[in-house]
Amino acid sequence: MQENKHSHNDNHKQEHDHNMMEHDGNENGHDHHQMMVDDFKKRFIISLILTIPILILSPMIQMFLSINLRFIGDSYLLFGLSTILFIYGGKPFLKGAVTELKEKSPAMMTLIAMAITVAYIYSSLTVFILTGNDFFWELATLIVIMLLGHWIEMKSVMGASKALSELIKLMPETAHVIDDNGDLIDTLVKQLRSGDNVLIKPGEKIPIDGIVYEGQSSVDEAMITGESVPVDKGVDDDIIGGSINGEGILKFKVTRIGDETFLSQVIKLVKDAQASKSKTQRLADTAAKWLFYIALSMGIVTFVVWYLLGAGLHFAIERAVTVIIISCPHALGLAIPLVTAVSTSIAAKKGLLIRNRAAFENARKLNMIVFDKTGTLTKGEFGITDVREVGISSDELLTIAYSIEINSEHPIAKGIVNEGKKKNLEKLEVKDYQNITGEGLKAKIEGREIFIVSPGYMKTKGIEFDEESYEKLAQQGKTVVFVLEDLKLLGYIALTDLIREEAKEAIEQLKEINVSSVMLTGDNERVAAYVAEKIGIDKVIAEVLPGEKADKINSLQKKGYIVGMTGDGINDAPSLAMADLGIAIGAGTDVAIETADVILVRSNPMDVVNILKLSKATYKKMVQNLIWATGYNIIALPLAAGILYNQGIVISPALGAVLMSLSTIIVAINAKLIKID
């Protein structure tokens, strides 16, 4: 499916290694990428070994060092070693250039391939046909430096993506099918047919979409739809494959299979979103594209001008070749990879895992961040916000609720239990504990019959309570449970999905750098509005289905916004794929993580701000390094072309080597100076 969310396939032009880094995103994607890293490392080492004798045998290097190691046949040995190096070390660049030219989009691979091919052909001609200086030493050092740069970058950003396989893994492999005799038969999910009757036990994952015909339970759909509160399910209610059953037993009839299921639709949405994502070109490729055009055009112009001026074929070719080779500076091979390696290291230390370099580099342009709510701005777990006691103390009320709820796995129960543990409340002895399906719990404590129930139960039984106070809490998106003794109200407890402490600060800092924030959630309007008000988000889009989420992102992009999407659930996967930058919360589902460009390991919304800062700092260093790597061309290219030849000034290969070595050292030092506030 994708590498770093949109895969190397989708961002084919975004990694310097292009087709050498591509893979189809299946479960072997990571192994494939590791093989590519190992391949570049091996090619670099072998090429480096070959380069040493090439440099020693090169007449130009010997002259530069004022030594003479010439012997009969040395030029043929030099040609042989250089041929091996050109074929073996240059293969990735030659293949990459073919791919780029097929796509009519020359970039880094084409520039390198042109320089090494011209150097090799011309140098070979000087051995057998022409008289003149060879460029085998230039060929060797250029290949070695470029292989080193690609190896460094690939190693620093290595990752794999298998979002589709992660989505498929969400589904259980078997289902409890009810046959005509009422017996349960464990059947493979892929063998289920529309109309089959299936039973779901408490705590099990629902295997496929269907409609309930018997039973009651609450179903956790948080990672599917974004709804933070478990949804009560009964007869005639739809249930979604991949969601988790609560405390009750459900029997349902299969309604959708294969490509019609909810999860299959999510998979299709992710694919479509990735396919529609624009192919952002990385800065180095843009620079390389222009250098390619400059080198090619200046090489041709140089040859034509000198030939027409009567300088002779040999001289015209030599000047043209020199121009083309110098146009591909060695430092260019390290300018971006070194910045990539340093920024990736800084990101890792700050808890940011970069999976898609192109999307990360362009994060500096974002002017809107869209946040999912559940699990992103909130912790995805319930906590107590209000306690209203009637006739007893709040601690007594909590102690009773804590003692009973400790037996339940319901998310609401966990919130009460966590509060009880925090307060070190006494755990009372509980007897005759039982679920009231879809309505609450019942148990005995010290002979007293205690109920912990929903507002619906209160209304059904006609038990009076402060409805005005309840409505106020409900309007804030809080879930309220009532504690009764023999149907007499002891009090009620309000809970809500806890807001992450850092969320408010993150929104404030985004506003300071003129980045808009939007909440896009599948949760209900009231809950979303309450959270947005608490943390300062201006715009809220609630009760949105997964498919609609991706559409909302797309509509924002069409309005001119460059959008980053932060999420953690299955329902966020299509929108993470659609966004210009997909950011996954590290504590989220594998699907969201595998679909994102950047992962927040610490699940801290403040790290969204750090992404933008690091992206801007990285881009700044890349621009600086590209200037250092190519800036000397402003002087070197005209001199190499021989513009001042009649004045006795022409760039020599030795001087070119010194200038390129100097620029390489500068970009290496400059890359180390990246920092963010």
Rounded to whole angstroms, the Cα distance separating 185 from 178 reads: 6
Edge to edge, the sheet with strand 368-371 lists 352-354, 598-600, 581-585, 563-567, 368-371, 516-520, 539-541
Q: What is residue 543's three-state secondary structure?
A: coil
Residue 650 in tokens: 């022409």
Say how far apart CA 565 and CA 577 lie, in whole Å. 9
| Ranges of the chain whose pLDDT falls below 70 | 1-33, 156-171, 222-229, 265-282, 437-438, 546, 587-594, 632-633, 650-661, 677
Q: How close are the terminal C-alpha atoms of the chain, in Å?
A: 35
Secondary structure (H, E, C), 585-624: ECCCCHHHHHHCCEEECCCCCHHHHHHHHHHHHHHHHHHH
Verdict on whether the full-model pTM lies above 0.85:
no
Long-range contacts (CB closer than 8 Å, 24 or more residues apart) made by 400-404: 400/428, 400/445, 400/450, 400/483, 400/490, 401/452, 401/481, 401/483, 401/493, 402/427, 403/427, 403/428, 403/429, 403/430, 403/445, 404/430, 404/433, 404/441, 404/443, 404/445, 404/450, 404/452
479-489 residue pLDDT tens:
899 999 988 99
Ordered structural domains, the chain, with CATH: 7-161+282-357+614-671 (no CATH), 381-498 (3.40.1110.10)
Query: What tokens appear for 262 in the block?
Result: 């909810």
Return the bridge partners of 352, or none: 600
Q: How far apart are CA 658 and CA 320, in angstroms?
A: 20
Cα gap 21→190, rounded to integer Å: 34
Element at 360 (helix H, strand E): helix 357-361
Nearest to residue 78, comparing CAs of 95, 64, 61, 98?
61
Max Cα–Cα distance, the chain, nearest Å: 114
pLDDT score of 517: 95
Residue 45, classed as helix, strand or coil, is helix
Task: Give the model's pLDDT for residue 653.
Answer: 54
Predicted pLDDT of residue 18: 36
Exposed / middle / buried, residue 391 (Cβ in 10 Å: 0-12, 13-18, 19+): exposed
* Gap between the Cα atoms of 389 and 398, Å rounded: 9
Phi and psi at residue 649, to the nearest 5°: -115, 120
Nearest by Cα to 160 from 25, 271, 37? 25
CB count within 10 Å of CB 473 equals 20
Name the active-site residue from 372, 497, 568, 607.
372
Token readout for 207 is 């295997």
Give the strand pairing for 598-600 and 581-585: parallel
The phi and psi torsions of 89 (rounded to 5 degrees) equal -75, -30
Look at residue 19 in the predicted model and tell me its pLDDT. Answer: 33
Distances (CA, A) of 117 to 138, 150, 384, 550: 11, 19, 70, 45
Q: What are phi and psi of 206, to 5 degrees?
A: -70, 125
Query: Cα separation of 9 and 12, whole Å?
Result: 5
Q: What is the pLDDT of residue 21?
A: 33
Residue 624: both structure tokens together: 């600086």
Side-chain half-sphere CA neighbours of 560 within 13 A:
0
Catalytic annotation present for 590: no
Pairwise CA distance, residues 402 & 232, whole Å: 22
